[in-house]
Amino acid sequence: MSKKEITEAIERIRSYMEQQNRPYSVNDIFMNLHKEIGKTACQKAIDQLVSDGVLREKSYGKQKVYVYDQNHFPSLDEEQLKAMDARIVELTEAIKEKEKLCSEVEVKLRGLSSSLTTEEAQKKIAETEVAVETMQKKLKDLQENQVLVSKEEKDKVNKDSENMLKMWRKRRRMTVDILDAIMEGYPKTKKVLYEEIGIETDEDVGITMPKM
């Protein structure tokens, strides 16, 4: 870098550190200035500012941070400090109010975002009206005892019922045969056997097998 560029870098970093008045590392300054000053040039400018007594250097292990020397700021009297403290409290309260307002606005925004648009609402109303009309017709048919099940559907239900009943009878008969075979060598009563195995009969659960 030319001498002019180094001078400009020193002045820019000096001005930035004065305005921010907070500690930064070399990398912080490099990034905060959007990399417009090279990292090596940043370090050279900072070293010069430290040498000139404009910046103060603090080491934390291998990390070094730099801050604007507070002696370059005009001293404040007690009244000015009190005024600044009062202003800080005032601004803090203002920030809290703004944050509260932002939270309320965000809640409203989320509510609006989850609401239906006018077009979506109209479509939903139309779909609901069709569904209501269909249900009303079905209710009317039921009230008038109209046949709502086709013959094919009814035949299928009856056939399925007969098949299930046959399967029930078959399995019940197989179970009874097995239990009777066990009873031939079992020293206790059938009731005790059922209790030990954990068997419930149709009668135990109040079920009567339909007649075919």
47 closest CA partner among 14, 8, 2, 4 = 14
CB 129 within 8 Å of CB 137: no
Q: What is the mean pLDDT of the chain?
A: 85
pLDDT of residue 17: 95
pLDDT of residue 149: 67
Each residue's pLDDT tens digit, 121-172 = 788 888 888 888 888 887 777 777 655 667 788 888 888 888 888 888 888 8
Least confident of 87-96, 127-136, 192-201: 192-201
All structural domains of the chain with their residue ranges: 3-72, 151-197
How far is C-alpha 153 from the chain's CA centre? 46
The domain made up of 3-72 has a fold known as Arc Repressor Mutant, subunit A (1.10.10)
| Three-state DSSP class for residue 48 | helix
> What's the CA gap between 94 and 102, in Å, rounded?
12
